Amino acid sequence: MAVHIELGDIQAEVIRKDIKHLHLSVLPPMGRVRISAPQHMKLDTIRVFAISRLAWIKTEQHKMQAQPREAPRQFLTRESHYVWGQRCLLTRHEHEGAPKVELNRNRLGMWVRPGTDEARCQELLDGWYRDQIRATVPALIANWSAVLGVKVDKVFVQRMKTRWGSCNPTAAAIRLNTELAKKPAECLEYIVVHELTHLLEPTHGPRFVQLMDHFLPHWQQRRELLNALPVRHHEWGY
């Protein structure tokens, strides 16, 4: 069961887990603070740790709150959408056939039945973005699994509200956000390497950073690029 601690004007959620060390996260969209803590660690110890990281917490919150948001989508012809970092203009076609989305250079075509609402259009486009990730990621995983010397048993692609990706080292499974199909391809590669590295080091500690530096030099630049790009208007990096 989660409890909350006050850090001045910031409230942090504390979740007890079967872990050895504290882990602090600042979560999108607006910088909610979460601390994962060992089961029996005293709350005062957790509070002292959080206070020592207060400047970092505020910096991360400021970045998230300042991050540009996409405008709400209406799915009208000539509306801008993004595919692999490139701006594409939408053309909406209304017909009685099966709904579909197709990309032709910088034109994104959407075929829907007359009267289809925005929610259904969003669902259709989300599915198309998911398919783009699913088509692209197997080659990336095959390549980087060999480089890192790891094995991935399961890959899930889905809408994620607070993360670009996640890893379950025990199950050798990773999850990727469908929104990555909107971003430059090097951002997807960075997230794939990030999650695969968690199979070698589950935390974000010094060893994780050393591994990332070794396998993907300048990975911080890719992270900064990803987290500087506009995010979905009702959601929020990483």
Q: Which residues contact 150 (CB under 8 A, 6 or more apart)?
A: 172, 196, 199, 200
Q: In what order do the strands lie in the sheet with 86-94?
A: 80-83, 86-94, 107-112, 100-104
81, 109 Cβ separation under 8 angstroms: no
67: alpha, beta or left, given left = phi > 0 and alpha = psi -120 to 50? beta
- Alpha helix positions (H), 13-71: 43-52, 54-66
How far is Cα 138 from Cα 140, in angstroms, rounded to an integer?
5
**Is the pTM above the cut of 0.95?**
no
Provide Rg for the chain, Cα atoms.
20
Cα-based angle 49, 210, 163 (whole degrees, multiple of 5): 65
pLDDT for the residue numbered 192: 98
140, 189 Cβ separation under 8 angstroms: yes
Taking the chain (238 residues) in consecutive chunks of 10 residues, what is each chunk's mean pLDDT? 85 90 82 90 92 90 73 89 95 96 95 95 96 97 97 94 88 95 96 97 90 96 84 49
Inter-residue long-range contacts of 64-67, CB under 8 Å, 24+ positions, other chains counted: 64/26, 64/28, 64/29, 64/30, 64/31, 64/236, 64/237, 65/30, 65/31, 67/28, 67/227, 67/228, 67/230, 67/231, 67/236, 67/237
pLDDT for the residue numbered 69: 67
**What domains are there in the chain, each with its CATH number?**
3-66 (no CATH), 80-228 (3.30.2010.10)
37, 14 Cβ separation under 8 angstroms: yes
